[in-house]
Structure 1
Amino acid sequence: MSNVKRPTWAERTPSMQDYYDHYWGLPEHDDRQLFEMLSLELFQAGLTWRTIWERRAAFERAFADFDIDRVAAFTAADIDLLCQDQTIIRNRRKISAVVANARVVQGLQGSGQTFDDYVWHFVDYQPQRLVLAPDESLPAQTDQSREMAKQFKADGFRFVGPTIMYSFMTAIGLVNARIEF
């Protein structure tokens, strides 16, 4: 993908190039992958995405490859152990939110709904196009991300404010802000 046109942020390091080329903004429909991206996005709060993405393998190891059922079964002792894991971000509120969110996703699945369907219904199952200039920044949040955050919270998700939700929306392709030429 050497001819890919990327925004400035995606040109800074090989890991960010790889993220842009193979993940960011591409429509994702796998429940496990959606759960992983939501989890990584909530860990990003207050940090750079690069910090999180470069620790992705550690997060995958720590959170059982983001297997929803396994994470939903984590105990208080498991959370305590993760709070001591120096390879991830050791924020108890964020770690606890991932476990709580796995339980919410598990509940959706138990009632016959996929996480994919739950997430994509917010955009009527069609990616929303956002055109940005090459050096223009994404908005921090939108009316749509505020509404999505409100519904996620009402449904029991944690650590899902409107800024995190907008980052999640662009990461998984609900909002397509990729540069086209």
Structure 2
Amino acid sequence: MDNCKWPGKNEIMQKYHDKEWCIPSYDDTYIFEMLSLEGAQAGLSWSTVLSKRDEYKKAFNNFDILYCSKLSDEELEEIRQKYAVIKNRLKLKSVRSNALEVLKIQDEFGSFSNYLWKYVDFKPIINKWESESEVPAENELSQKISKDLKKRNFKFVGPLIIYSFMQAIGMIDDHIISCQYHSVNKKRNLK
């Protein structure tokens, strides 16, 4: 088997690829965490964000949505100064503002998960790319979700961020077809 090459030799990236990437999650807290981290990544490398993930979890109380929605400007500034997170104030404020919007979605749809997964009829899209170069940076679906999230006042939710986010929560399986972690190969290995 020839696995995806993008994690390289970086242990954090390899672990993320093997244990999380493209694995369906329906847990609102995890989904919110991934949305927050993907937003933090804008303009940076994913390995940079993953290397700071533990600090983010400490700073944002394990991405507890209600907790994050109640953070004051002073508390966000304290997080910026005290924790080893991305120091961009707008990105940090987006965690609070997005948490507030997630709470509204939970009221409307029952969960953030329901809202997102309805876009794919609650089943992941399983792509069969032969090469990582075939994987798009965005698609029509990420554009559609991005547009709706922006209408709902979410921040840092452009179509590229949302495409990566959909991979992160397993709405899309973009492992190359020869990768042992691709859905098709995992099913074969269970037999």
Q: What is the TM-score of this pair, normalised by structure 2? A: 0.87
Whether the 8 Å contact between 1:6 and 1:20 is mirrored in structure 2 is no
Regions of 4+ moved over 3 Å: none
Give 1:130 deviation, angstroms.
1.8
Distance 1:57 1:14 in 2: 15
Q: Return the alpha-carbon distance in structure 2 between the equivalents of residues 36 and 105 of structure 1.
A: 12
Segments of 5+ residues of structure 2 without an aligned counterpart are 179-191
Alpha-carbon shift at residue 100 of structure 1 (Å): 0.4
Alignment partners' CA distance in 2, 1:135 and 1:170: 13
- Across the two proteins, how many residue pairs are aligned to each other? 178
Separation in structure 2 between the aligned mates of residue 111 and residue 56 of structure 1, nearest angstrom: 29
- Evaluate the alpha carbon distance shift between residue 101 and residue 115 of structure 1 in structure 2; reply closer, same or farther with a 3 A threshold: same
Larger displacement relative to structure 2 (39-48 or 170-179): 170-179
Counterpart residue number, 1:98:
95
Alpha-carbon separation, structure 1, partners of 2:152 and 2:105: 10
Unaligned runs of 5+ in 1: none
1:78 aligns with 2:70: no
- Note the 1:38-53 alignment, pairs <5 A: 38-53=35-50
2:159 paired with 1:159: no
Query: How far apart are the structure 2 equivalents of 1:176 and 1:135?
Result: 12
Aligned twin of 1:19: 16
Secondary structure of the 2:133 match is coil
1:21-170 correspondence runs (5 A): 21-111=18-108, 113-136=110-133, 138-170=135-167
Instruction: Output the CA distance in 2 between the equivalents of 1:35 and 1:79.
Output: 17
What's the counterpart of residue 183 of structure 2? none
- How many Å separate the matches in 2 of 1:167 and 1:177? 10
Establish whether residue 8 from structure 1 lines up as the match of residue 14 from structure 2. Answer: no
Judge which range, 123-132 or 38-47, deviates more. 123-132
Taking the aligned partners of 1:154 and 1:166, their CA distance within structure 2 comes to 17
Give the % identical residues: 35
Q: Is the 8 A contact 1:8 1:134 kept in 2?
A: no
Matched residues in 2 for 1:15 and 1:83: separation? 23
Given that 2:129 and 2:177 are in contact with CA atoms closer than 8 Å, whether structure 1 keeps it comes out as: no
SS at the partner of 1:71? helix
- Helix, strand or coil: the match of 2:30? helix
What RMSD over aligned residues (CA atoms) do the two structures have, in Å?
1.6
